[in-house]
């Protein structure tokens, strides 16, 4: 799908405005879903066809049947065995791809395995600790990791960077290969089919930069992010749980209005801060406002995750307690981070999500003040 369409689907998926949504600890999907489906939980098993997109987050995820649209997943252990009709974007600790994917596969993980049955008809972009590619990739291959094993068929051009790069006996490259290996040049033997292999030192730096940008240089750093997000969610939820619950009540009927107010916040506040620096007495106020604004951006995903969780609870008429909301919000935060990784569209997605979040909270503040004045 085009990035713009993916962005819109992702936005409305997390808000559950369209499609179907479910959240819980143990979830088993045995009935066909006629629309987009969004689910968060601890252990999730998908045993039936999803005729739209599937957005899923949890500790253990198993996709055993076909997904007609995109698959977006974040979790600890992820297994994909069903046919995917469009793009796949996944991030997790251990990821196994054992299926046919009609378009691109973008994957980030501690351990990533593409089995002999895996077929990626688009591009494969993979960053991980240990990466094994035993299947077939029709278009471009871009892989970076600590330990990389290529033992499959690559039809398009390849860029591979690995501290420990190994070629299996079944490895075949039909287009030119650029690679980096910590020990220098390696012998491709009979793996090249009318193609050339070139050692490229720049790929080492490119690999390191890509990991830093995504914030997951290793599984350890990914776990640090999860722990940090959990602590932040715990604090914000404990302090402002009533504010989130009340903001959701206004969000249901004022989605576009919330987006407008939030966009005004993201654009207007920086302009107001800049203007204060032209006034001598406003410099201290501008610095304080700038600090608050940066703080709101840094914790924007966490705040949005809590608000989305309350929205899901209200939409499904569920009375989740403090801890279920906290853990579901953590799963949503991981999912938001994954979606924000999408090149270009991820930035636009983050702006939309932050606008709706802070717009809804701002409107709640205005409503609360109006009620106090009236009373």
The mean pLDDT value for 200-206 works out to 78
Q: Is the distance from CB of 78 to CB of 57 less than 8 angstroms?
A: no
What pLDDT does 3 receive? 38
- 151 versus 342: the higher-pLDDT residue is 151
The mean pLDDT value for 52-68 works out to 89
Q: For residue 162, give every residue at least 6 positions away whose Cβ sits within 8 Å of its Cβ, in sequence order, or none.
A: 131, 143, 144, 145, 146, 147, 148, 180, 181, 182
Q: Distance (Å, rounded) from C-alpha 181 to C-alpha 94?
A: 23
pTM above 0.75, yes or no: no
Q: Distance (Å, rounded) from C-alpha 254 to C-alpha 299?
A: 23
- 227 versus 45: the higher-pLDDT residue is 45
Provide the pairing of β-strand 71-80 with 54-63. Answer: parallel
What pLDDT does 343 receive? 66
Closest CA to 360 of 269, 268, 254, 267: 254
What pLDDT does 47 receive? 97
Any idea of the CA torsion for 52, 353, 260, 314, to the nearest 10 degrees? Answer: 70
What pLDDT does 5 receive? 34
Q: Is the distance from CB of 237 to CB of 325 less than 8 angstroms?
A: yes
**How would you list the strands of the sheet with 153-154, edge to edge?**
100-101, 119-120, 136-137, 153-154, 172-173
User: pLDDT tens-digit profile of 162-199?
Assistant: 889 999 999 999 999 999 998 889 999 899 999 999 99
User: pLDDT tens-digit profile of 86-95?
Assistant: 999 988 788 9
The mean pLDDT value for 7-21 works out to 42
Q: Distance (Å, rounded) from C-alpha 290 to C-alpha 302?
A: 19
Going by pLDDT thresholds of 50, 70 and 90, the confidence category of residue 150 is: very high
User: pLDDT tens-digit profile of 212-252?
Assistant: 444 444 455 567 677 778 878 888 888 888 888 888 877 77
The mean pLDDT value for 346-370 works out to 83
The mean pLDDT value for 280-288 works out to 67
User: pLDDT tens-digit profile of 312-357?
Assistant: 888 888 888 888 888 888 888 888 887 777 766 778 888 888 888 8
Average pLDDT, the chain: 82
What pLDDT does 221 receive? 58
What backbone phi and psi angles, to 5 degrees, belong to 12?
-75, -20
Whole-number percent of the chain with pLDDT over 90: 34
Q: Is the pLDDT of residue 2 over 50?
A: no
């Amino acid at each position: 799908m085009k990035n713009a369409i993916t962005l819109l689907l992702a936005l409305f998926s997390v808000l559950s405005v369209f499609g179907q949504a479910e959240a819980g600890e143990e979830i088993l999907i045995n009935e066909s879903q006629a629309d987009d489906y969004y689910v968060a939980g601890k252990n999730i098993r998908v045993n039936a066809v999803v005729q739209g997109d599937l957005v899923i987050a949890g500790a253990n995820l198993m996709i055993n049947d076909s997904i007609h649209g995109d698959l977006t997943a974040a979790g600890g252990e992820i297994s994909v065995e069903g046919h995917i009709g469009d793009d796949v974007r996944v991030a997790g600790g251990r990821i196994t791809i054992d299926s046919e994917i009609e378009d691109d596969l973008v994957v980030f993980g501690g351990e990533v395995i593409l089995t002999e049955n895996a077929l990626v008809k688009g591009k494969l972009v993979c960053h991980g600790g240990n990466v094994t590619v035993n299947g077939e990739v029709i278009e471009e291959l871009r892989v970076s990791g600590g330990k990389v094993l290529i033992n499959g068929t690559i039809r398009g051009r390849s860029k591979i960077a690995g501290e420990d790069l190994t070629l299996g006996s079944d490895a075949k490259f039909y287009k030119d290969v650029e690679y980096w290996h910590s020990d220098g040049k390696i012998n491709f033997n009979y793996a090249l089919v009318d193609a050339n292999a070139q050692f490229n030192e720049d790929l080492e730096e490119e690999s390191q930069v890509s990991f830093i940008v995504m914030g997951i240089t290793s599984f350890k750093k990914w776990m640090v992010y999860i722990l940090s997000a959990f602590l932040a969610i715990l604090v914000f939820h404990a302090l402002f749980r009533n504010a989130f619950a009340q903001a959701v009540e206004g969000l249901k009927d004022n989605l576009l209005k919330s987006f407008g107010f939030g966009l005004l916040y993201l654009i207007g506040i920086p302009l107001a801060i800049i203007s204060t620096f032209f006034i001598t007495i406003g410099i201290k106020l501008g610095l304080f406002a700038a600090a608050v604004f940066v703080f709101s951006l840094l914790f924007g995903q966490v705040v949005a995750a809590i608000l989305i969780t309350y929205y899901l609870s209200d939409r499904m008429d569920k009375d989740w307690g403090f801890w279920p909301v906290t853990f579901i919000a953590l799963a949503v935060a991981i999912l938001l981070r994954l979606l924000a990784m999408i090149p270009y569209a991820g930035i636009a997605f983050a702006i939309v999500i932050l606008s709706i979040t802070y717009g809804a909270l701002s409107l709640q503040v205005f409503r609360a003040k109006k009620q106090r004045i009236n009373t």
